[in-house]
């Protein structure tokens, strides 16, 4: 009986503790999230040169938010779910983004909004005053919340990956002058090349060479045989046929067109060259009509063009590129063929 009474008392104590904890939890829930105070810091927005995430850019645009609680410092973990609502000008957007860095000595939290992807990217506009609200969630529970706070005026043009020119890139598309050089078309090192010089206003040719070799730039070529009227298009030319012999970015280019399935005859050729970073056209140039023709050297005429047995890049050549009305007719033909194939496959699926 004594044992039963002891167990009864113990059970009562346990139940009391559980009820107290439950009540405290309910009180905490009723109190809601902790209130935090935010304010713009050090100009509110900054292109910060010391960002660890700037990549090839000289800086990364950051939203600088000072966060305090009851007038004192607070260290909110970056691995919680942060939600920023930014309103100003014609923009209102809520993004999920943790602080990239924190400097608690200054109550400073840095958010790299321009580096966000898709719906989590926010690009400010110079001169616009933004109102910011910060919410921080611990799981599904709202743990911290600020009041909407104005005064986050953007004082500068932001750095936006894929939009803002990199140091060394032109801000607008630059025109190139393409001219023949040396043998123009020659056999060199067992490969037939077309050689071209290129020039433009204030070109940093060493930088262009570096970016082409590293793959940061891509180049497309359009080659027209003026004797036959055939035009060949190479969507992306790769400088990998004979490393060290193809690209002299501060001087000229050697194009191993035979390795793309184009047999260079003793004809006259017109060259068009386009250089891109991603989808952005940085440089473009077209030579004079028929400017590239062999200089009748023994190196080319006696031996003839060297056509490799195995064409390593044949899949990267888009045969003949029609122009004008021919281009329109070709597009229509492709569309009709696609519809016809779709009908055939639909019928087979039905059968």
What confidence tens digit (pLDDT) does each residue in 10-60 have?
Answer: 666 656 655 655 555 444 444 689 999 999 999 999 999 888 888 878 889
Q: Which of 339, 237, 219 is nearest to 284 (CA)?
A: 219
pTM beyond 0.75, yes or no = no
In DSSP terms, which residues pair with 96 in a beta bridge? 83
pLDDT of residue 113: 95
DSSP per-residue codes, 95-117: EE---SEEEGGGTEEEE-GGG--
Q: What average pLDDT does this structure show over 66-70?
A: 97
Least confident of 73-82, 294-303, 331-340: 331-340
> What confidence tens digit (pLDDT) does each residue in 286-312 have?
999 999 987 655 555 456 677 666 666
Q: Residue 38's CB: how many other CB atoms inside 10 A?
A: 21
Across the chain, what does the average pLDDT equal?
81
Task: Summarize the confidence of residues 78-100 as an average pLDDT.
Answer: 96
Q: pLDDT value at position 244?
A: 53
Q: Is the pLDDT of residue 328 over 80?
A: no
pLDDT of res. 342: 47
- Cα–Cα distance for residue pair 327/102, rounded to 1 Å: 56
Radius of gyration of the chain (CA): 33
* Alpha-helix residue ranges (DSSP H) falling in the chain: 2-31, 205-214, 298-301, 325-350
CA distance 9 to 302: 110
Show the tokens assigned to 338: 């696609």
Least confident stretch, 31-35, 68-72, 103-107, 141-145:
31-35
Neighbours of 45 (CB within 10 A): 24
**Beta bridge mates, 269:** 225, 292
User: Measured between alpha carbons, how far apart are the two ends of the chain, in Å?
Assistant: 84
Res 173: pLDDT: 95
Residue 101 has a CB neighbour count (10 Å cut-off) of: 16
Q: Provide the pLDDT for residue 45.
A: 97
Mean predicted confidence (pLDDT) in 81-103: 96
How many CB atoms are located within 10 Å of the residue 12 CB? 10
pLDDT at 11: 61
Please give the pLDDT value at position 213: 83
pLDDT above 50 for 174: yes
β-strands 34-48, 141-146: how paired?
parallel
């Amino acid at each position: 009986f004594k044992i039963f009474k002891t167990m009864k008392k113990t059970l009562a104590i346990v139940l009391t503790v559980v009820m107290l904890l439950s009540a405290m939890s309910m009180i905490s829930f009723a109190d809601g999230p902790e209130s935090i105070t935010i304010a713009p810091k050090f100009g509110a927005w900054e292109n910060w040169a010391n960002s660890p995430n700037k990549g090839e850019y000289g800086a990364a645009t950051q939203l600088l938010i000072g966060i305090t609680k009851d007038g004192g410092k607070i260290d909110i973990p970056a691995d919680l779910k942060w939600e920023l609502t930014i309103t100003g000008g014609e923009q209102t957007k809520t993004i999920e983004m943790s602080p990239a860095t924190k400097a608690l000595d200054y109550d400073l939290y840095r958010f790299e909004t321009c580096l966000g992807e898709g719906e989590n990217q926010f690009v400010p506009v110079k001169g616009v005053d933004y109102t910011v609200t910060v919410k921080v969630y611990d799981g599904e529970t709202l743990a911290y919340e600020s009041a909407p706070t104005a005064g986050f005026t953007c004082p500068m043009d932001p750095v936006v990956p894929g939009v803002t020119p990199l140091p060394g890139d032109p801000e607008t598309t630059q025109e190139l002058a393409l001219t023949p050089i040396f043998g123009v078309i020659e056999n060199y090192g067992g490969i037939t090349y077309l050689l071209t010089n290129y020039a433009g206003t204030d070109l940093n040719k060493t930088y262009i060479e570096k970016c082409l070799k590293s793959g940061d730039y891509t180049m497309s070529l359009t080659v027209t045989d003026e004797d036959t009227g055939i035009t060949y298009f190479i969507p992306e030319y790769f400088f990998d046929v004979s490393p060290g012999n193809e690209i002299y970015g501060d001087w000229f280019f050697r194009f191993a067109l035979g390795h793309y399935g184009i047999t260079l005859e003793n004809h006259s050729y017109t060259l068009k060259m386009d250089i891109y970073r991603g989808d952005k056209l940085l440089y473009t140039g077209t030579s004079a009509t028929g400017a590239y023709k062999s200089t009748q050297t023994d190196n080319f005429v006696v031996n003839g063009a060297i056509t490799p047995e195995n064409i390593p890049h044949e899949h990267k050549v888009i045969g003949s590129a029609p122009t004008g009305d021919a281009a329109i007719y070709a597009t229509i033909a492709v569309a009709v063929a696609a519809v016809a194939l779709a009908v055939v496959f639909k019928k087979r699926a039905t059968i």
